[in-house]
Structure 1
């Protein structure tokens, strides 16, 4: 068992701390007293509400209450940790580069207050070389005569499944150029996971691995989204293509779902950051740059399907958006595609009625979009906003509640238009919608709702592929 301190009480720091507390003693440090109080109240069973939403997190904190607590007192946080994880935010700047000011601030605090030998690991997603920068800051500001090794241990968590991702990871990547420190980190993780799961490596390789993994997953999504646009053009069904491609074991089915684009706190930030990093080193990552362009194009492609129906001026129109979080079961709206679509509709004069299964997502939408006040209405029941005044329904994320539409209720809508931003409706339901007078638009499977234009394809081939 080790004493662990985690800097940062966000979507990474708190779940990670709760997981480590299964076998280690954990202190979560954050200067925000409100977040600290939220965590401690949950640990002590005084509250069942956290400042972040993550399935199973509250239960895990309470289960391991004897091994974890939170503090905003830096001296308490750095009393005697053997391993420190820096899990603070690295929001992108206007050029797409990770902002390292919070990481550097954490390093300086560690240097000025630590009193014992320890290992410091960056868990935040940072550009390669950041661990060396952290090491320099610590050495330049160190007050006490202690040995501090610095390395990297990037997180690979998906919001909504972070607790399960931590419990059963595909692999745990960590790097340190100090072999003794690397061995100590290995021993730390062996309390929680089998040796086959561990991937020790050099510091900079660990930092690159994080970006490489997220960029490759994002590339799979954008690759399939580009095919989805072709599928709509020729009458193919992208869901069928996904199944055929995904069953190739060399490729795999995960992250091949076509949709209106990826969002969230990781893929947009990390793809931009590593692409910018490559440009700065004059080693451009052209495939990743294309991935970013396709992602932006896909969102516009989906939104244009709505505009094509009604025209560019949406004044007097009312739309439902089911699912405003960037994906199901999260309150995180960072780079959320349904938020982008909702804003585009409101910018064009429409009123938007928003429902999400996570109450915090609705609260965050209000807090982050005050400039749209009066242009949207929030709802806490899935069908309560359905009326004769509604012109269309947009499915924003993949929650299972949105997969089985109640056609009888939706027929009240004056505009019988369904826009499936996540391609989650099955073919049978789509055909039932069409039979009930609805139109259906998606990303790459519009053909389910219409006949394939065979003669158009034949003429195209004759004109373009014959000598």
Structure 2
């Protein structure tokens, strides 16, 4: 059992700390007293809500309550830790680069307060070379005569499934150029996972791996989204294309779901950051740059479908949005595509009626959109807002509650439009909706509800492919 300190009580730090507490002694440090009090109340079973929403996290914290504590006291946080994980925020600046000020501040705090030899690992997503910068800062401000090794251990967590991702990871990537420290980290993880799961490497390789993985996954999504737009143009079904491509074991099924674009705290930030990093090193990453452009194009493409159906002026229109979080089962609205759609509609005069299965997502929408007050309403029941004044339903994320809507409850909508931003409705349901007079729009599978224009395609081929 090792003594571990985690800097940062956010979407990465808290789940990671709860997981490590299965077999290690963990202290989570954060200067935010509200977050710390919140975590400790949950640990002590005095509260059943956290400042972040993550399935199974509260139960895990309470299960391992003897091995974990949160604090704002830096001296307590740095009381003989063997390994320190820096999991603070690295929000992008206006150029898309990761802001390292919180990482550097954590490094300085460690240097001024640590009293024993230890290993410091960056868990935050940071540009390659950051571990060397952290080491430089620590060496500059180090107060006590101790040895501090610095490396990288990037997180690979998906919001909504972070607890399970930590328990059964595909791999654990970590790097340190100090072989003794690398061995110590390996020993630490062997308490939790099998050796085949571990991927030790050099510091720089570890830092690059994080960006490479997220950028590649985002590229798969944008690749399918660009094909989805083509499918709409010619009349193919992107879901069928996805199935045919995904069965190729060289490709795989994951991250091939076409939609109105990816969002969240990772993919938008990480693709922009690594693309900008490549430009700074005169090594442009054109594929990733194209991935970003396609993602921006796809949300505009989806939004324009709504506008095309009703016109530019939406001042007398009402829309329902099911799912405002960037994905199902999260309260995170960072780079959320349904939020972008909501703002576009409100900017054009529409009133939006928002429902999400996660209460925190609705609260966050209120906090993050003060200028739109009066232009939206939030609801805690899925069909509460369905009435004769509603012009269209927009499916914002992939929660299973949105996959099989009660059609009878939707029939009294004034405008029978369903805009499926995540392509979650199945073909049978779409055809049933069509028979009941609904207009269905998606990203790449409109053909399910609309006949293919064969004549248009034949004429196109005659005009363009006969020379």
Look up the match of 1:275: 275
2:12 is equivalent to residue 12 of structure 1: yes
Q: Distance in 2 between matches of 1:262 and 1:440?
A: 21
Look up the match of 2:132: 132
Look up the match of 2:164: 164
Provide, for residues 27-75 of structure 1, a one-character-per-residue CA deviation record: whole Å limited to 9, x for no partner.
Answer: 0000000000000000000000100000000000000000001000000
Q: Distance in 1 between matches of 2:173 and 2:407?
A: 47
Residues 310-459 of structure 1 correspond to what in structure 2 (within 5 A)? Answer: 310-459=310-459
2:230 is equivalent to residue 220 of structure 1: no
Q: Distance in 1 between matches of 2:364 and 2:455?
A: 49
Q: CA RMSD in A?
A: 0.3
Look up the match of 1:234: 234
Q: Distance in 1 between matches of 2:134 and 2:376?
A: 44
Q: Distance in 1 between matches of 2:66 and 2:409?
A: 49
Q: Distance in 1 between matches of 2:176 and 2:248?
A: 36
Regions of 4+ moved over 6 Å: none
Provide, for residues 229-262 of structure 1, a one-character-per-residue CA deviation record: whole Å limited to 9, x for no partner.
Answer: 0000000000000000000000000000000000
Q: Distance in 1 between matches of 2:293 and 2:10?
A: 29
Paired residues in the alignment total 467
Look up the match of 1:145: 145
Q: Secondary structure at the match of 1:374?
A: coil
Q: Distance in 2 between matches of 1:51 and 1:29?
A: 15
Q: Secondary structure at the match of 1:457?
A: helix
Q: Distance in 2 between matches of 1:290 and 1:432?
A: 37
Where does the alignment leave 5 or more consecutive residues of structure 2 unmatched? none
Q: Distance in 1 between matches of 2:384 and 2:113?
A: 54
Q: Distance in 1 between matches of 2:77 and 2:439?
A: 57
Residues 10-49 of structure 1 correspond to what in structure 2 (within 5 A)? Answer: 10-49=10-49
Q: Distance in 2 between matches of 1:44 and 1:274?
A: 41
2:120 is equivalent to residue 120 of structure 1: yes
Q: Distance in 2 between matches of 1:142 and 1:148?
A: 9
Q: CA shift at 1:304, angstroms?
A: 0.3
Q: Distance in 2 between matches of 1:407 and 1:139?
A: 64
Q: CA shift at 1:405, angstroms?
A: 1.0
Q: CA shift at 1:151, angstroms?
A: 0.1
Q: Secondary structure at the match of 2:134?
A: helix
Q: Distance in 2 between matches of 1:331 and 1:316?
A: 29
Q: CA shift at 1:142, angstroms?
A: 0.1
Q: Distance in 2 between matches of 1:383 and 1:393?
A: 11
Q: Distance in 1 between matches of 2:19 and 2:215?
A: 26
Q: CA shift at 1:460, angstroms?
A: 0.8
Q: Distance in 2 between matches of 1:177 and 1:450?
A: 59
Q: CA shift at 1:341, angstroms?
A: 0.2
- Single out whichever of 257-266 and 455-464 deviates more from structure 2: 455-464
Look up the match of 2:55: 55
Q: CA shift at 1:130, angstroms?
A: 0.2
Provide, for residues 125-158 of structure 1, a one-character-per-residue CA deviation record: whole Å limited to 9, x for no partner.
Answer: 0000000000000000000000000000000000
Q: Distance in 1 between matches of 2:316 and 2:88?
A: 44
2:311 is equivalent to residue 297 of structure 1: no
Provide, for residues 421-443 of structure 1, a one-character-per-residue CA deviation record: whole Å limited to 9, x for no partner.
Answer: 00000000000100000000000
Q: Distance in 1 between matches of 2:209 and 2:244?
A: 29
